[in-house]
Every structure is written in structure tokens, then in C-alpha cells.
Structure 1
Amino acid sequence: MSTGHFRIATLATVLLGLSTPVSAAPDGPLKPFKDDLFSGQAVLETRDGGDFEVIDYQERRDINGRDQIPERRAKAKYVSLGVKKQQANETLNLATGPLPVTRVGRAEGAAFTVIFIHGRGGDRRLGSNDFSFGGNFNRLKNLAIDNGGVYYAPSVPSFDAAGVTAVAGLVAHARAVSPGRPVILACASMGSFICWGIARETAAVADLAGMMIMGGATDPDFPKSAFAKAKLPLYFSHGSADSVYAATDQIALYDRLKKASYPTRFTLFATGSHGTPVRMTDWRGALNWLFTVK
């Protein structure tokens, strides 16, 4: 059985064993949640058998049209706040030291774990805000709850070796409390330094099922990493007009990996800026690909 088939079979078994059974959708194990609002993105261009897509992004529609207060508060239809009943701010006493997190979902025995790493100037509040970024984090929370998973938004202490150590501790914790279940690490902006650092940590890589880089920096040495050698799936999303980290650099890394038959996918938001991937990335689509990629 391939690694991808093993992951999807394991996750499907876990989901079907929940007290409220979840029926896997044809495109992956996570059932839809507000897909009409978040997943109906128009594809302008595609290549590599659909692994590289250019998505139509329009600020007037995707910010001003989605938000009651642009860039601050999404309209009510984009959020469902029942998940707050299963949300907690806590400090985990990890082997690597204490780490403040927001946890949404099961503390133990989760079907899967998603960990989001914020960028510079952020903390756990950024990844747990229901109304910012067009309600996209609220959708992620609901996807976690509805499918028996757990979502962590930690406050990363720094974007250097200390931050990598702290996040490695959280990855190990997630795997320990939900053994045998997939853990996905998603890093945005400067938080990508954490993902690239984790990719070099053999022990942490052994606990991961995949990573997401959202509007992040490029690591030209990634192909030498333990993560790359394990051929774990890597998903990129980026804005074409990102003035902080150039999309062309990230696309070059994707192309290099794709040429080597690496399991990777890239979503480019046409005209999108640095923060666009956090707002516009289709969490269900990305996670279902990471869970099912062969």
C-alpha cells in the first residue's frame, strides 16, 4: 500500500469510528463546510496535471465583498461560532518548555492535527480570530471540529532555532496524544522559517504527514532536508504580487521539486498580495490533498 493510500485509509477509519460518523467526500476525507463560499474559486490557468493553479483573485470581491469591515470583520455568513464551545487558550508544558496555544477540538485522540504558525508580529490570536481574513480561520476550526480533528494556533517565541524547537515540541505532543494520526504543519509569511527549520529535524519529520507554506520565504536548500528525503507532501500558496517574498522565487522551488517528481502543489492567487494566501487558501482542498496524495 502506498504512503498516500495508507494515510487516507487510516484517517477514513478514524473518522468512521467517531461517535458522529463522517462520510468522506469524493475528493478527500474531510466533509464540506461552506464550500460554496470558500471553495468555488475560478481557475485561470493550470499545468502539471492540476498541481499548479492560478486562481482568480479580486480585492473588490474577495475583501470588500466578503467583509463587513474590510480586512477586520467578515460578514456573518462566512463564520459559524459554535466552535468556540470547543476552543481553549492554554499553555502546554511540553518537553521543550511551556508554549501558549489556542486549541480548537479534541485534546486527545484527534483524527488529525493542523498546526498554524503565524508570521512576524503575530501570536496565537491571529490564527484563532474568527472574523479576520474573511473568516478563513473560522472555516478551518469548523473543519477540525466537524471531522473529529484538532487545530492548534501557538504563539511562536521567535523565528530562529528557539522557535523551531518550540514547534517541534508541539508536533511531538500532537503525535503523542493522537498516536498514528496525521499532523499537518502550516506556516505563513515569516513563520515559513519555522517550517523550513522543522524540515531539517529528523524526529519532527517522523511525526509529520505534510506541510503548507502560505506566502512564505523560499528555502533553496529544502531538497536536502529530512522532510524532502522522506518525500512528504508540500503545498504552496502565494500571491502573485507579493512584495515581501517574491512569488517567482517560490515557483522556482516548486518547479525544481516537480521536475524531481516530488509530491507538491502550488496555488497562485493572481494579483494577490502578501496576506492573500491566509485569506484565500482553500483549507479543505489543501488538507484533503495532503491527506490523500500518493
Structure 2
Amino acid sequence: MSSRTFLCTAAALLMATIAASAASLQLKSFKDDLFAYPALLSSSDNGAYRVVDYREMRDINQRDEIPERRAHGRYVALGVRRQQQDLSLDGIPNVAVGETSGARVITVYLHGQGGSRKQGVDDFTFGGNFNRIKNLMAENGGLYLSPDFPDFGEAGVDTVATLIGHYAERSPGAPVFVACGSMGGALCYRLADDPSIVPRLGGLLLLGSMWNDGFVKSAAFKARVPLFLGQGSRDTVFPVASQEAFFRSVLAAAPNYPVRMVRFETGTHGTPIRMTDWRETLNWMLSVR
């Protein structure tokens, strides 16, 4: 057997193991009544594309004690901080919440321009949505990671790939979900073509982020890695029309591809990080992987 054939076979076996593990896992409820999407305005493509009602007065001003800085207490559960560690792996600063070995599922958040590992573990910003994903991972025997990385290019993806590889090896069979906010999407698309990472992926989440026409030629696309796109209709950084065109291009390339898009009507650049329903999205990805 050639080395190339061996690697391909090993990757296929790893993907099969992860798929079997994912199929048997669904995340338990955590504050679903508070974080479920508001009214659905429209839906198409058998529910793959949805337009969700978003209102700043309700979804920021009524949800936050201090708008955009501190969510009301009912949106957070701070006991999860007991499972949170600020670590360094080969010089890579990262915050880990939950099981650093033997995890059933792993979720990684990659921040955008000007962010840091601290953004992804802030319990009170973005309406408490980061506190929710921390609790979802901790309550389901999972691991949540929020790392620092040097840039959004090759050095950045090498750093993130090293981090994912380390924790994934300590949790064999755990599907890895990578959520990328804003410019962090550049790393998501680079990871989509990384042969060491793709077999481990349970899904990619682009939150107020970019599009990449090359995705349909990537290893992740060929492996049918689930893809979620969340976008505000008033995003001036990455216009929603371009993201919608990308969504259509994925379905055009593969009509049954596991892709979903949620358009938050009147939402802006940071809205998907605040409003994306982590549990619904990850459970969908776990069910189709």
C-alpha cells in the first residue's frame, strides 16, 4: 500500500468514526426559550434559507442590562467558569471550557479583526450567547476553545490547525465545529482545504463573515462538511447579497449539500454572533454528518 493510499484510507476511517459519533449525539437543552429565534419572516429551499425577525429595541435593549456590554442575568449561567482554563499550547494562548480530553464534541470560535481569545468567552457581551455555547459544551461532555492566533493568513491557520489537532487527538471521534466571526472566516475557508483538519470537521459556521467561491472545490465540500451562514441584512462590512449569492452557488454545485443560511432582517455586522442559535445549528450539523 502506498503512503498516499494509506493516508486516504486513514482519513476515510477517521471521518466514518466521527460521523458515527456525531449521529448518536444531540445537545441537551440550555435556555432554549431565551435563545430561540424570534419570528420567522420567510423560508425557502426546504428550510435551508430563512429570514428571521430581528429588532434592536427587543434583541439588544431589552436583552441587555447595559446595551452591547452586559446581558441581563437570566441569559447567563456563571457556574461554567469553574470549568474554564486560560492555557498555552506550544505558545498558543487559548481558553478551554469543559473536557480537555475525552470530549464528545469540540467547538472552536475564531474571532475577527481586533478581537482576541477573550471575546469568545465573555459571558455578558453579545447577549450572553458565548456563555450559552460554553454551557452547551460543558453540559454535554464537550470542549469549547477560544484561541489567539497571529493573523488571518498562513501563520494563523497553522496555529489553529495545531490547536485543533492537539485537542482532537485527545478526544478521538469527537466532531470539531469551527465558528468564525467576521474576518475569522478567512481561517474557516483555509481550514476547509487542510487535509489534517477536514476529516475531523463536524461543521463550519460563518457568523457575519465572508464568502469564498473556491469553497465548492475544497476538501470540505467534497467531504460534505455542513456549512452554516448567518448574516445581518444591514451588514456594511460583508453585504448580505454577496453571502446569499454564495449560498446559492453552493446549492447550484450540489443541490442536496448540507448548507443553511439565516438572514437576520435589519441586523448589522455583529448580529449573527449575538443571535445564532448554537444548539439548533449544532444539532442539525450532528444529524446530517
Same-fold call, TM cutoff 0.5: yes
- Matched with 2:75 is 78
Distance in 2 between residues matched to 1:48 and 1:156, nearest whole Å: 36
Q: Determine whether 1:174 maps to 2:171.
A: no
Shift of residue 174 of structure 1?
2.3
| Paired residue secondary structure (1:122) | coil
Give 1:124 deviation, angstroms: 0.5
Report the aligned-residue RMSD.
Answer: 1.7
SS in structure 2 at match of 1:166: helix
Alignment partner for residue 282 of structure 1, among 270, 274, 277? 277
The correspondence for 1:222, drawn from 191, 210, 215, is 215
Does residue 1:146 correspond to 2:139, yes or no?
yes
2:112·2:182 contact (CA, 8 Å) conserved in 1? yes
Q: Which amino acid aligns with 2:60?
A: I
Alignment partner of 1:187 is 2:180: yes
Pairing of 1:145-294 with structure 2 (within 5 A): 145-259=138-252, 260-261=254-255, 262-293=257-288
Give 1:41 deviation, angstroms. Answer: 2.1
Q: Give, in whole Å, the separation in 1 of the partners of 2:278 and 2:271.
A: 13
| Deviations 1:148-190, CA, capped at 9 Å, x for gaps | 1000000121111100111111121121010011111110100
Q: Which runs of 4+ in 1 moved over 6 A?
A: 3-6
- C-alpha contact 2:37 2:275 (8 A) present in aligned 1: no
Q: Residues of 1 paired with 2:45 and 2:17: CA distance?
A: 24
Please tell me the residue identity of whatever aligns with 1:116. Answer: Y
Alignment match, 2:61: 64
Q: Which runs of 5+ in 2 are unaligned?
A: 1-13
2:269 match: secondary structure: coil
Contact 2:23 2:286 in 1 (8 A): no
Return the TM-score normalized by structure 2: 0.91
1:38 aligns with 2:38: no
- In 1, Cα distance between equivalents of 2:118 and 2:134: 13
Match of 1:25 in 2: none
* Cα distance in 2 for residues equivalent to 1:252 and 1:7: 31
The alpha-carbon deviation at position 193 of structure 1 amounts to 0.4
Distance (whole Å) between structure 2 residues aligned to residue 213 and residue 220 of structure 1: 14
Q: Summarize deviations over 1:30-74 as a string: whole Å, max 9, x none.
A: 111000000142110001111111000000000001000000000
Contact 2:23 2:287 in 1 (8 A): no
Q: Percent identity?
A: 46
2:3 is aligned to none
Residue 196 of structure 2 aligns to a residue whose secondary structure is helix
Q: Which amino acid aligns with 2:265?
A: A
Q: Kindly report which structure 2 residues correspond to 1:90-105, keeping only aligned pairs within 5 A, or say none.
A: 90-93=87-90, 98-105=91-98
Between the two proteins, the alignment pairs up a number of residues equal to 274
CA distance in 2, matches of 1:83, 1:120: 27
Distance 1:132-1:149 versus aligned 2 partners, 3 A rule: same
Partner of 2:47: 50
Deviation string, structure 1 residues 48-107 (Cα, Å, up to 9, x no partner): 1111110000000000010000000000000000000000101012xxxx2101100011
Does the C-alpha gap of structure 1 residues 71 and 157 become closer, same or farther in structure 2, counting only changes over 3 Å? same
Q: 1:4 to 1:265 in 2, by over 3 A?
A: farther
TM-score norm. by structure 1 comes to 0.90
Q: Which amino acid aligns with 2:59?
A: D
